[in-house]
Chains A and B, each alone.
Chain A
Amino acid sequence: MAEIALSVEGLHKSFDPGLFERRVDVLKGLSLEVHRGETFGFLGPNGAGKTTTIKAITGLIRPDRGRISVCGLPHDRLEARARIGFMAEQPYVYNHLTGREFLEFHAELLALPRARVGARVAEVLELVSMTGAANRAMRTFSKGMLQRLSLAQALLGRPELLILDEPMSGLDPVGRRDVRDLILAEKERGTTVFFSSHIIPDVETICDRVAILVDGTVRAVGEVRELVAQEAEAYELSFVGGDAVDLETPLLASHRGSDAWWVRVAGEHRDALIRELAASGARLVALSPVRSTLEEFVLRHYEGGGR
């Protein structure tokens, strides 16, 4: 049984949007567990409640119901909070500080030993490649630079659990790769990383497990490989000498090429389709399983949202 770094149980949260408007239920009994040392991707369409969940974990909002624990401690204990490194969805700026002052301020909040603050700040600046700009005012930074600084702030206290809300959004390809490498480096050190993202290929390459949040509940959770395998039950066939329009077997897709038909069919209907083609005198020229990607899996869940 793996050790649990983050556990969320039956989380409910609704917001009061204001006078004369109906309360909106945003989280509807959300539960998930993140094992120690794993990199966990938190996916879901816009408005699914990812940021709300993350704010509840970091204590910025109070859930209406539900339990959250971090490394076995209730999440509102300061000892739990000290183990978390958090990077918010958007980087937020102090206009009056330089990058270095910003990090020094946060080092104080973490109560890092005074003698080590300077060295640690220099270290994380180096990690996010911001050493060169460290003495400039934050208000002159680009979005990507602010994002890096925000990440640096999250890494400052060597957290056991890193919680990142869309760490790669708004970054150029180099920045994205850097963040990816940083997450992998943290994983290497044994840090648990929990992050939300819309960039599926990144999630697919770096995450051990993912959860898919739709409409305030977790719709699917598991290893990327497992989830994709569930989906792989589809086949592509090509045939000549017949017409796909006449087929009775339900198809997922069909397309007429120059001399052959190309169709896609769910695994359960594969054999029926082959029999039907044989009976109608068409000739099968190719058959292959569709290797589904996480992207397709995710799309299917996002689009099935309302139900």
Chain B
Amino acid sequence: MRAVAAIARNTFREALRDRVLYLFLGFAVLLLVCSKLFGLLTVGDEGKVIKDFGLAGIQLFTMLIAVMMSVLLISREVDSRTVYNILAKPVRRWQFLIGKYLGLLATVAVNLALMTAVLLLVTVVYLREFDAGLLFAAAMTLLEMALLTAFATLFAVLTRPMLGTVFTLAVFVIGHVAEDIWLLTQHVDSGIVRPLVVAVHAVLPNLERFNFKAEVVHGLGVSSGEVALTVIYGLAYTAMVLVLACARFRTKDLV
């Protein structure tokens, strides 16, 4: 397990030294400026706008980190062949991959935590309220990113970096609209469209499940059963994708 931890730590350090935290700073500035603007512009409920906008921003920024950093850092290690030195040591292939994954996830999580802290601070300062729901929504975004990072890991071992990034981005986008499209095409039964939609819907995760923005922003309740189901769904899906990635990487020739 020391090997996994060492690889995770090294990956995290690489991400930090690659200055990913600048993304977080960008988010913070954007949020502060926009909150000020919303305060001036919105007549109605400025609190809801800030929260909604903040949560969406957090999701977008962490998604960018998950998509861009993940594929990049894994393929960089394989393409620049630093992986040779690692895997010639008493380290299993899956330990390498899981180490990379955990390091990336830690990077995503730290950024997400910092952004959430900024959002909480903004709501406390501007709106004079502390909304714990924001923490819950952020936690669900982390779960979504855990799954997305697993996909990035899978694509990093399956294809080239550029394609891997595109595919991961595609999973994110399709994962958010698949359910709607599936519903929309319920009654379409012509040609190829329906089977295609059904296939995509069956294989790709439904990322809308992790979206609790509306509930949090409007202060609606969420049942603990639903939360539990979402957590199980996210973890199980993540585990499955990681197992696939490790299985592919286990027999891969490193040339």
Which residues does A use to contact B, with CB under 8 Å? 15, 55, 58-62, 78-79, 81-82, 84, 86, 88, 90, 92-94, 96-97, 105-106, 108-111, 150, 153, 157
Q: Which of A81, A93, A105, A153 contacts B10 (CB 8 A)?
A: A105
Does the CB pair A96–B80 fall under 8 Å? no
Contacts of A96 in B (CB 8 A): 13-14, 17-18
Does the CB pair A92–B2 fall under 8 Å? no
Instruction: Tell me the bound Cα distance from A109 to B82 in angstroms.
Output: 13
CB distance from A19 to the nearest CB of B (A): 15
Q: Which of B6, B87, B255 contacts A59 (CB 8 A)?
A: B87
Q: Give the interface segment out of B89-97, B137-145, B228-236, B238-246.
A: B89-97
A60-B253, A94-B14 are contacts. A88–B84 as well, Cβ < 8 Å?
yes
Task: Determine if B85 is an interface residue (Cβ-Cβ < 8 Å).
Answer: yes
> Which B1-37 residues have a C-beta within 8 angstroms of A?
2-3, 5-7, 10, 13-14, 17-18
CB distance from B254 to the nearest CB of A (A): 4
Contacts of A94 in B (CB 8 A): 10, 14, 82
Task: Determine if B190 is an interface residue (Cβ-Cβ < 8 Å).
Answer: no
CB-nearest residue of chain A relative to B18?
Answer: A96
Does the CB pair B84–A61 fall under 8 Å? no
A84-B88, A90-B81, A106-B89 are contacts. A60–B10 as well, Cβ < 8 Å?
no
Does the CB pair B81–A55 fall under 8 Å? no
Contacts of B92 in A (CB 8 A): 78
Per-position 1/0 for B55-95, Cβ under 8 A of A: 00000000000000000000000001110111111111000
- Contacts A55-B254, A108-B6, A109-B86 supplied; 8 other A-B pairs, CB < 8 Å: A58-B84, A60-B84, A60-B253, A81-B91, A92-B81, A92-B85, A96-B17, A108-B5
Task: Determine if B224 is an interface residue (Cβ-Cβ < 8 Å).
Answer: no
Q: Which of B3, B13, B80 contacts A92 (CB 8 A)?
A: B80
CB distance from A167 to the nearest CB of B (A): 14
CB distance from A94 to the nearest CB of B (A): 6
Q: Which of B3, B80, B84, B86 contacts A111 (CB 8 A)?
A: B3
Does the CB pair A109–B255 fall under 8 Å? no
Instruction: Tell me the bound Cα distance from A157 to B14 in angstroms.
Output: 24
Task: Determine if B223 is an interface residue (Cβ-Cβ < 8 Å).
Answer: no
Q: Which of A92, A97, A109, A153 contacts B91 (CB 8 A)?
A: A109
Does the CB pair A60–B14 fall under 8 Å? no
CB-nearest residue of chain B relative to A16?
Answer: B253
What number of residue pairs across chains A and B have CB atoms under 8 A from each other? 80
Does the CB pair A93–B80 fall under 8 Å? yes
A60-B253, A108-B2, A109-B3 are contacts. A86–B88 as well, Cβ < 8 Å?
yes
3 shortest A-B CB distances, which residue pairs?
A: A108-B6, A86-B88, A58-B88
Contacts of A60 in B (CB 8 A): 84, 87-88, 253-255
CB-nearest residue of chain A relative to B82?
Answer: A92
CB distance from B91 to the nearest CB of A (A): 5
Can you offer 6 A-B residue contacts whose CB atoms are under 8 A?
Answer: A60-B84, A82-B90, A93-B82, A94-B10, A106-B86, A109-B89
Task: Determine if B251 is an interface residue (Cβ-Cβ < 8 Å).
Answer: yes
Does the CB pair A78–B88 fall under 8 Å? no
Contacts of A86 in B (CB 8 A): 84-85, 88-89
Does the CB pair A110–B90 fall under 8 Å? yes
CB distance from A102 to the nearest CB of B (A): 9
Q: Most chain-A Cβ atoms within 10 A of its Cβ — which of B2, B84, B255?
A: B84
Contacts of A58 in B (CB 8 A): 84, 87-88
Instruction: Tell me the bound Cα distance from A93 to B87 in angstroms.
Output: 15
Does the CB pair B88–A150 fall under 8 Å? no
CB distance from A54 to the nearest CB of B (A): 9
Instruction: Tell me the bound Cα distance from A150 to B82 in angstroms.
Output: 10
Does the CB pair A61–B255 fall under 8 Å? yes
Does the CB pair A62–B6 fall under 8 Å? no
Q: Which of A61, A81, A105, A153 contacts B253 (CB 8 A)?
A: A61
Instruction: Tell me the bound Cα distance from A153 to B18 in angstroms.
Output: 24
Does the CB pair B81–A88 fall under 8 Å? yes
